[in-house]
């Protein structure tokens, strides 16, 4: 049956890319087959997961990571690598999709995360950086066989974009796709903007602000999403490639941009750069940003101010 009751909304949730993905169709009833549109959107995301996950031995990223020779990847993976490398360059290396070894060292994906020693961190930083990955069409060459690519900061956003493209192709014009904080809105909400609650980084039940938006991607990166604590110190999963440790300038960054892949990459980059340099980066690429700095101070792009409602 259909979810959403009398409102005409049609909603489905599925676990993909390590998070709960919720898709809401507002005009599902007008589409020839809403159920098929939903299925197409979820399978587009599953395809992205299958090729870009670093955890699956059979993914393209795993194949690239294991290879010593150049590797031919799919058009989708090449597109994500290209965007990632562009954001890496624009951010001066704050965004870095070659830090796979460093991420594995901290163990955020396993069940035994730990604080590595300084020499371990130095070794994992050896030879990384956007210049160590060359992309020519769909051919990827690693500067060093030991280089490990991690698309964790961009692939989820890209998958959301693919889902939205699938919905569009199926005739849907008003929908939202939310992959655990990576969100994209298709069209508006009954002639009005959608109202998107942005999570308060220090209050799991609290809403920091509500954003009124249509036809946009909204992605949040926060230090509260994945972390462990040792002796009262929080170690989270957004790493500063300059010192190999969790970036410490922000509690959370929300980016509004045209695509979720772009917003995802920019949110991670801006988190590392901090409120000032981060805002300049996001705005230089046509996006808008909302920061909660490490001390809790909230700042945001001028052009975002008229879309903000207090919760």
Burial of 191 (0-12, 13-18, 19+ CB in 10 A): exposed
Q: Does 268 bind ligand ADP (CB under 6 A)?
A: yes
Q: Does 133 bind ligand ADP (CB under 6 A)?
A: no
Contact pattern from residue 267 through residue 306 relative to Mg ion, giving x for each residue in contact according to CB under 5 A and a dash for the rest: xx--------------------------------------
Compute the least distance from the CB of residue 76 to ligand ADP, in Å: 18
- Which range, of 89-97, 140-148, 170-178, 204-212, touches ligand ADP by CB under 6 A? 89-97
Q: Does 65 bind ligand ADP (CB under 6 A)?
A: no
Q: Does 264 bind Mg ion (CB under 5 A)?
A: yes
Compute the least distance from the CB of residue 156 to ligand ADP, in Å: 5
Q: Does 237 bind ligand ADP (CB under 6 A)?
A: yes
Residue given tokens 């993909």 in the structure block: 16
Intra-chain end-to-end CA distance of the chain, in Å: 33
Residue given tokens 């508006």 in the structure block: 188
Contact pattern from residue 150 through residue 189 relative to ligand ADP, giving x for each residue in contact according to CB under 6 A and a dash for the rest: x-xx--x---------------------------------
Contact pattern from residue 189 through residue 228 relative to ligand ADP, giving x for each residue in contact according to CB under 6 A and a dash for the rest: --------------------------------x---x---
From the list Mg ion, ligand ADP, none, which binds 307 (C-beta under 5 to 8 Å, kind-based)? none
Tokens standing for residue 228: 């462990």
- Which range, of 60-68, 138-146, 185-193, 233-241, touches ligand ADP by CB under 6 A? 233-241
Tokens standing for residue 62: 């795993």
One residue of 103, 162, 174, 279 binding ligand ADP per CB under 6 A: 103
**Residues in region 148-187 near Mg ion by CB under 5 A:** 153, 156
* Residue among 24 and 221 whose Cβ is closer to ligand ADP: 221
Q: Show the CA angle centred on residue 268, arms to residues 264 and 271, nearest 5°.
A: 135
- Which range, of 32-40, 111-119, 132-140, 147-155, touches ligand ADP by CB under 6 A? 147-155
Instruction: Identify the CA nearest to 96 among candidates 109, 84, 106.
Output: 84
Q: Which residues form the interface with ligand ADP (CB under 6 A)? A: 95-97, 99, 103, 108, 150, 152-153, 156, 221, 225, 237-239, 241, 264, 268, 272
């Amino acid at each position: 049956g259909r979810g959403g009751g009398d409102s005409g909304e049609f909603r489905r949730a599925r676990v993909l890319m390590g998070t709960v993905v919720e898709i809401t169709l507002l005009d599902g009833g007008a589409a020839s087959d809403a159920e098929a549109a939903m299925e197409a959107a979820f399978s587009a995301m599953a395809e992205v997961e299958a090729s870009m996950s670093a955890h699956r031995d059979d993914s393209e990223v795993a194949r690239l990571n294991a290879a010593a020779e150049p590797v031919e990847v799919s058009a989708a993976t090449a597109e994500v690598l290209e965007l990632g490398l562009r954001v890496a360059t624009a951010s001066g290396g704050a965004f870095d999709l070659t830090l796979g070894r460093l991420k594995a060292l901290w163990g955020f994906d396993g069940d035994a995360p730990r604080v590595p020693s300084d020499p371990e961190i130095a070794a994992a930083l050896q030879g990384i950086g956007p210049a160590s990955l060359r992309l020519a069409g769909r051919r990827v060459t690693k500067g060093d066989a030991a280089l490990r690519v991690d698309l964790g900061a961009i692939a989820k956003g890209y998958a959301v974009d693919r889902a939205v493209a699938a919905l569009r192709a199926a005739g849907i014009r008003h929908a939202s796709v939310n992959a655990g904080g990576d969100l994209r809105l298709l069209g508006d909400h009954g002639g009005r903007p959608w109202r998107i609650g942005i999570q308060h980084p220090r209050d799991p039940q609290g809403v920091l602000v509500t954003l009124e938006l249509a036809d946009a991607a909204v992605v949040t990166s926060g230090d509260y999403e994945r972390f462990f604590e040792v002796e009262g110190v929080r170690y989270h999963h957004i790493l500063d490639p300059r010192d190999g440790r969790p970036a410490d300038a922000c509690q959370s960054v929300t980016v509004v941009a045209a695509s979720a892949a772009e917003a995802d990459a920019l949110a991670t980059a801006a988190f590392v750069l901090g409120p000032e340099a981060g805002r300049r980066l996001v705005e230089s690429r046509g996006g808008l940003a909302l920061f909660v700095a490490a001390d809790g101070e909230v700042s945001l792009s001028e052009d975002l101010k008229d879309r903000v409602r207090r919760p």
